[in-house]
Amino acid sequence: RADSADGVPNSRSGRFSFPTRGATNITNPLVPSNNRNNLVFDKAQGTIGAVNGLEVTYLRGRQLVCVEALTGKVLWERTGIEPGSDVFGDEQRIVVIAPEERSHQALVYSAIDGTLLDRRMVDPQDRRWATCGRNVLAWETGDGKAVHLRLYDASNQGTGLWSKNLDRLAKGFIIDGEELALMEPSGRFTVVSLRSGKELMVAQVEPEPALQSIAVVASRGQYLLTTSQPPSGETNGVTASPLQNGWPAGFSVHGNVYAFDRASGATQWQSPAFVSQHALPPDQPTESPVLVFARLKRVFRSGSATSNIGSVLCLDRRDGSIVFEEDGFSGQATLCDTVVDREARSVVIQVSGSDGSRALSLKFTDNPAPPRPPAQTGMMSSRTLGEQRGTVVDVAADVFRALNQMPPGNRNGVPPGIPIPLRGLRLPGGLPPVQPR
């Protein structure tokens, strides 16, 4: 699933696409410039095509071809189409837009027999953020302080479905190609349908005047919103980045994580979680009971990297609490894959890299869990407020604390086979490992 893009050729589900850009470099201010939302290509590549339940329409060279989705039988063809054109639409209309200098002209075809129905004017390629069906989401800047968004039907004289003026510091995210999520610096969070233009949810969260980006994971009954802000305080020569093994990469996260009921918009956690300098892998199973974060952490000494550590963090989607956390989960990690087995009630998280791969299996039951607070990780954690994490003193203190928690009579010697409960041990340069529950 592709979640958000500006200038990325993709229409994996067929119901949506993200227009490409040519050599010009006009940047959508609502998406961050430092992740995959802003890829720039030397020339337009176009989108794959339009897919619905019955037909697939795509561009093959200079031919526009419509085939049956199940059999591949050709239903109709049209020739003379500009290579690299954007192709999108629905079961009634197919919209074709030429690249580059003619990217403001749209040809509208019948999805039934390929008849050319009309020619329409649309926003140029650089101003089209995304499409859904035959709708176009476009943006433009005004006086430098605001961004104007509008959603319209490209096949019907630009019939407007929705529009909004936003602070230039607002950030956006495309959810599964069907919805637009927007967060303003004031903390106003809005979700809009890209099919109808209807505002599906409006919520107020904590203001974030330094907001850098957002990402949203949606399931049938829940929205999970992650925000990212500039890291504050001393990083001690440590950087964190998403795992990358080709495209798409993940999303950097350093900020609050919120959970909303998808139907009512009500918040589901007692307070937002805080995830520090981590990353959200793309294409997570939407109905998983956990939200998975995976990062590559680099520790620098004297200007060069001395260690590369793969880290994994899992949050319970019900309350935002930590289910699993391990800083040294792997070495030079490049890929994180999550598989949910509903029948076995398990989640398997596999992290792979140059040092091999390691899998984590989490089992879930119907047994009630005690109340737990949402996660607070990193230097902003309430557990580490005023402390320097990962020192030798910390390790020694945790060892003595663990020994003091042992039952009376066992402090002078540990029976064979009985592990010392070093649950809160903080290793140098790392987060405290927490075993799966």
Contact 162, 138 (CB under 8 A): no
pLDDT in tens, 265-283: 999 999 999 999 999 998 8
Residue 224 lies in a domain: no
Residue 145 lies in a domain: yes
Q: Is 303 exposed, middle or buried (0-12, 13-18, 19+ CB in 10 A)?
A: exposed
Tell me the whole-structure pTM to 2 decimals.
Answer: 0.77
Residue 124 lies in a domain: yes
User: What is the average pLDDT across 111-121?
Assistant: 95
Residue 61 lies in a domain: yes
d(CA 12, CA 15): 8
Q: What is the structure's pLDDT at 381?
A: 41
d(CA 236, CA 282): 28
pLDDT in tens, 220-255: 999 999 999 987 655 567 778 888 765 567 899 999
pLDDT in tens, 283-340: 889 999 999 999 988 877 776 667 788 899 999 999 999 999 998 887 788 889 999 9
Q: Half-sphere exposure of residue 404, counting CA atoms within 13 Å on the CB side?
A: 7
Structure tokens at 326: 């391990």
Residue 311 lies in a domain: no
Residue 74 lies in a domain: yes
Residue 321 lies in a domain: no
Residue 289 lies in a domain: no
CB atoms inside a 10 Å sphere around CB 249: 16
In which domain, by residue range, is 101 found?
Answer: 1-174
The CATH number linked to 52 is 2.40.10.480
pLDDT in tens, 355-393: 788 999 999 988 888 889 999 987 544 334 333 333 333
Number of independent structural domains in the chain: 1
Contact 206, 184 (CB under 8 A): no
d(CA 348, CA 158): 46
pLDDT in tens, 339-354: 999 999 999 999 988 7
pLDDT in tens, 400-424: 344 444 455 444 444 444 343 433 3
Question: How far is CA 193 from its chain centroid?
Answer: 18
